[in-house]
Amino acid sequence: MNPVAFVIPWFGKNLKGGAEQLAWQVSNRLAKRGHKIEVLTTCCSSFLEDWSTNHLPSGSEMLDGLLVRRFKVDKRNGDLFNHANSHALAIPPENLRAGINPFTFGTGELFVAENINSLALERYLKWNKKRYHAFVFLPYLYGVILNGLPHVAEKSFLQPCLHDEVYAYLPEVENIMRGCRGILYNSLGEECLAHTLFGPGIDRKGEVVGVGVESFDLTHQPLPKQVAGLDLDEEKYVLCLGRRDKTKNTAMLVQAYQKYRKNHPESKLMLIIAGPGEEQFGASVQGVYDLGLVSELDKEALLSRCTVLFQPSRNESYSRVIMEAWFYNRPVAVHGECLATAMAVNAAGGGWLATNREAWAHLFHMISSMEESELLELGKKGRAYARQYAEWDAVIDRYESVLGLKSAEILKEKTQHRIGPRTIHQLVPGFAHGDAISNQTMIIRDLLKKKGYKSDIFTEHIDPSMTHEARLFKDGKGIKADVGLIYHHSIGAGLTDFVINHPGPKSLIYHNITPPELVRNADPELALKLEQGLNDLSRLAPHFPVSAGDSRFNCRDLEESGFASPSVLPICIAPEKWNIPAEPNMLTRLRDGKDNILFVGRLAANKCQHDLIDAFAVYLAMYGNCRLILVGGFMEEEKYYQSLKERVRLQGLEGDVLFTGKVTDTILHACYRCADLFWSMSEHEGFGVPLIEAMWFDIPVFAYKSSAVPETLGEGGLLFTDKQDVKELAAAARLLMHDPEVRSKILSGQKQRRGIFLPEAIRLQLDEFIRGMDV
């Protein structure tokens, strides 16, 4: 197998910095497992040196058995870089909004261009791409990475070591996050941050690999039983470990302890603080011991015997000390608003969260009254988690599997069964970029090809940008009489006669037709077309022994039209569609502090946008500060649109309801990214693609129970069966947006549900369906 290359601006055993240490550890450990590993880096010796000086000779060298190739760095203008950097740091954090470039006046480009760069390294990547199995780039914010990764994007894995800081909002960073093949995260918190910044498009190529924590070698010397005169075995104490400064919240913790002792003066529970830093704590508070800086050995001894470890800092990106405590089976308590630590504790179940002084004081009390066995149980949970994400063996296993270094996986890739060159084509009325049904046909085609079939997509109307994916249907040209045919039926198709007369094996997939009576008043012409579509369905029935609908709800239509035992074949929805930047102007417009309520669907009477406008008016009157976004195509002269506009005008909502019309995917992306609630009043959905898309964007879904909606939503979202009590609906909508508990439960249900519609999940059903055609 070809080698894996780690690309990093600086490389060396003793370099300071998280990413540098990580690169050293991982590359060495992978090499020790026998993989071919190379490091591509610059001649600059470290982050602290001048970035345009080549301290080390260029060329390759062996470092601890690892091949390191060094490349000369480019000359750069440090002053310009500093100017851009200080500009970036001056941007107030509240101005940072995901998807919007905070760097103005070209300072972003300046920041990248005058960063540490190496043309030589880039050239090397470009010309030697084929020689490598994969590239791992880390960390995210240096020129070497930002300019280098695009050259080898399809083989690149990015380990961003992402922080919520101004650099993360650079468009160049978004570019590499979207362009790379896979993303390696150090923690759940980091993954969550990436999701917030870049949306669900990158979700499925990311993997939390974790960071190993070197466990202390206990074989050489025993841990001391006494530290600073305290007999650790005798005392019961809470430990707070680490550097102390204003951001670490140590002072608050001491106050919380003081408060606890005031209420429980008899308590024996102590608070021990240890770690470097100027400030001294608790000299006057009984029960608080500040040990200052302690030796590694003492630190281990303190950790191993503490009752609980407290980490009150709000500002941690990855807390080693939590993992260390867990390795000793000790539970931990962390700040509830610190994303990285709180997510780890939540995921592990190895401790508690607290946010304010009262909560911390209460924790002291709770812990003092807990049995050792209970504490141990929590600590064990933490240990299990730590072993998974902080033990090097497990972490390196994960690297191997993500980078495709495991031999078993390579074999799996190669196993494919070939059936022989038979043909199944698909016929679909329209084919457009981003359209769910078009995507479905492409997934089916790819699957067919994988199974050894010849397969093409034929369509009556094609989006000019998609001509490479499908062929225009012209009187059956290119479709031989004996080939298999999958016909996707919905309205507007002049294909009915052709498919009825096609003599070869065939099947039908039905994508729902809106009942004509629902739209007859608003749009009689459309109603006629729909009627035609339904009539066609009963004409088609006798000719198609194999059929499927998007949902059980759709299958009912098929059965009524005379199809025998149709199966259910849901539409595939994968979040990769959204691996595109969101439209920045729309983002800016929608991220103005108002809550955004979204509905996506053509403006049509059966989708009941009118009910939604009325309900929104009530919500707005009750709570204010909100906007309704109605995404969906319409013609200016359409009656229904005019009536909606009039309704908006009469209720004085002109500034609060936004009709976007038919939008591009980048704009729709922006709408989804900014939405706080997806609210559907629709009375007819054959399947409801936007419901699932909303789930991928972690927008709570609030929907009227009708047609296929409950079937599609499953355990996701919240349904209502009655539109009458609008005030109650508004209050429920409020809770879905602003009650953290309700929101998180809904979202966790949605996370479960959305997976069901992934291509992998639907593959089995597809297999079954194709087998049924018996080609």
Partner 1 sequence: MLETQNPEIDLAQLLEKIGLELHRQHKSVVGRLDRVASEELAINDPYSWGQLGSTLNVAEQNVNAGAEVTSMLHYRGIMRKIARFLGKVTIFLGRVITIPQRNFNSAILHSFRITLDGIRDMNRSTALFERQIAEQMRHFDEQLKKKSALIDYLKTGLITQERRVSILLEELRRELTTADGSQKALSPHLTGLDILDPLYLAFENQFRGTREEIRDRLLEYVPLMREAGAGNPGREVLDIGCGRGEWLGIMQDEDLLASGLDLNHVLVQECREKGLKVIENDALTYLRSLPESSLGAITSFHLIEHLSFDDRIALFDECVRVLKSGGVAIFETPNPRNLLVGACNFWADPTHLRPLYPETHQFLMEYRGFCKVELLFLHPHEGEQRLPETEAPQLAARLNEILSCARDYTVVGYKA
Which residues of this protein are in contact with partner 1, per CB under 8 A?
74, 77, 80, 87, 90-92, 94-95, 104-106, 109-110, 112-114, 119, 622-623, 705, 710, 713-722, 725, 727-728, 731-732, 734-735, 739, 742, 745-746, 748-749
Min dist. Cβ of residue 88 to partner 1 (A): 10
Min dist. Cβ of residue 551 to partner 1 (A): 15
- In sequence order, which residues have a C-beta less than 8 Å from that of residue 574 and are 6 or more positions away? 204, 758, 759
What is the C-alpha to C-alpha distance for residues 4 and 155, in angstroms, rounded to an integer?
10
* Tokens coding 455: 């397969």
Cβ distance to partner 1 smaller for residue 313 or 712: 712
Give how far Cα 114 sits from Cα of 82, 177, 656, Å: 9, 21, 44
Min dist. Cβ of residue 73 to partner 1 (A): 12
Min dist. Cβ of residue 353 to partner 1 (A): 18
Distinct helix (H) and strand (E) counts, the chain: 29, 29
Place of tokens 């004081």: 361
- In sequence order, which residues have a C-beta less than 8 Å from that of residue 200 and are 6 or more positions away? 575, 578, 696, 697, 698
Say if CB 11 and CB 47 are below 8 A apart.
Answer: no
* Nearest alpha-carbon partner for 713 in 736, 687, 734, 677: 687
Single-letter amino acid, residue 232: L
Min dist. Cβ of residue 365 to partner 1 (A): 27
Min dist. Cβ of residue 592 to partner 1 (A): 8
C-alpha dihedral (162, 168, 173, 175), degrees to nearest 10: 110
Place of tokens 């980078």: 403
Place of tokens 């302690």: 294
Cβ distance to partner 1 smaller for residue 457 or 713: 713
- What letter does residue 423 receive in the DSSP assignment? B
Min dist. Cβ of residue 168 to partner 1 (A): 19
What is the C-alpha to C-alpha distance for residues 628 and 620, in angstroms, rounded to an integer?
10
Please list the helix, strand and coil fractions of the chain in percent, rounded to the nearest 5, in that order.
Answer: 45, 15, 40
**DSSP H or E stretch at residue 86:** helix 78-90
What is the C-alpha to C-alpha distance for residues 701 and 688, in angstroms, rounded to an integer?
12
What is the C-alpha to C-alpha distance for residues 309 and 320, in angstroms, rounded to an integer?
12
Cβ distance to partner 1 smaller for residue 153 or 735: 735
Helix, strand or coil, per DSSP, at residue 63: strand
Cβ distance to partner 1 smaller for residue 233 or 722: 722
Cβ distance to partner 1 smaller for residue 91 or 491: 91
Min dist. Cβ of residue 651 to partner 1 (A): 18
Cβ distance to partner 1 smaller for residue 78 or 542: 78
- DSSP letters for 161-216: ---SSGGGG-HHHHHHHHHSSEEEESSHHHHHHHHHHH-GGGGGGEEE-----PPP
Cβ distance to partner 1 smaller for residue 93 or 229: 93
Cβ distance to partner 1 smaller for residue 19 or 84: 84
* Tokens coding 735: 């809770």
Min dist. Cβ of residue 103 to partner 1 (A): 10
What is the C-alpha to C-alpha distance for residues 125 and 148, in angstroms, rounded to an integer?
7
* Nearest alpha-carbon partner for 676 in 573, 554, 594: 594
Taking the alpha carbons at both ends of the chain, their separation in whole angstroms is: 39
Tell me the residue length of the chain: 775
Min dist. Cβ of residue 553 to partner 1 (A): 15
Min dist. Cβ of residue 723 to partner 1 (A): 9
Cβ distance to partner 1 smaller for residue 526 or 733: 733
Min dist. Cβ of residue 722 to partner 1 (A): 4
Say if CB 18 and CB 318 are below 8 A apart.
Answer: yes
What is the C-alpha to C-alpha distance for residues 750 and 728, in angstroms, rounded to an integer?
23
Cβ distance to partner 1 smaller for residue 123 or 450: 123
Min dist. Cβ of residue 156 to partner 1 (A): 21
Min dist. Cβ of residue 388 to partner 1 (A): 24
Cβ distance to partner 1 smaller for residue 516 or 717: 717
Cβ distance to partner 1 smaller for residue 739 or 768: 739
Cβ distance to partner 1 smaller for residue 49 or 725: 725
Cβ distance to partner 1 smaller for residue 393 or 592: 592
Give how far Cα 162 sits from Cα of 148, 184, 185, 242, 506, Å: 18, 10, 8, 22, 51
What is the C-alpha to C-alpha distance for residues 175 and 101, in angstroms, rounded to an integer?
12
Residues forming a β-bridge with 183: 158, 206
Min dist. Cβ of residue 228 to partner 1 (A): 47
**DSSP H or E stretch at residue 597:** strand 595-600
Cβ distance to partner 1 smaller for residue 482 or 592: 592
Helix, strand or coil, per DSSP, at residue 240: strand
What is the C-alpha to C-alpha distance for residues 232 and 213, in angstroms, rounded to an integer?
24
Min dist. Cβ of residue 729 to partner 1 (A): 9
What is the C-alpha to C-alpha distance for residues 581 and 600, in angstroms, rounded to an integer?
19
- What letter does residue 134 receive in the DSSP assignment? E
Cβ distance to partner 1 smaller for residue 77 or 535: 77
Cβ distance to partner 1 smaller for residue 166 or 363: 166
Cβ distance to partner 1 smaller for residue 61 or 728: 728
What is the C-alpha to C-alpha distance for residues 361 and 244, in angstroms, rounded to an integer?
19
Min dist. Cβ of residue 414 to partner 1 (A): 41
Say if CB 650 and CB 566 are below 8 A apart.
Answer: no
Min dist. Cβ of residue 714 to partner 1 (A): 6
- In sequence order, which residues have a C-beta less than 8 Å from that of residue 395 and are 6 or more positions away? 26, 209, 210, 211, 212, 389
**According to the 3-state scheme, what is the secondary structure of 137-157?**
ECCCCCHHHHHHHHHHHHHEE
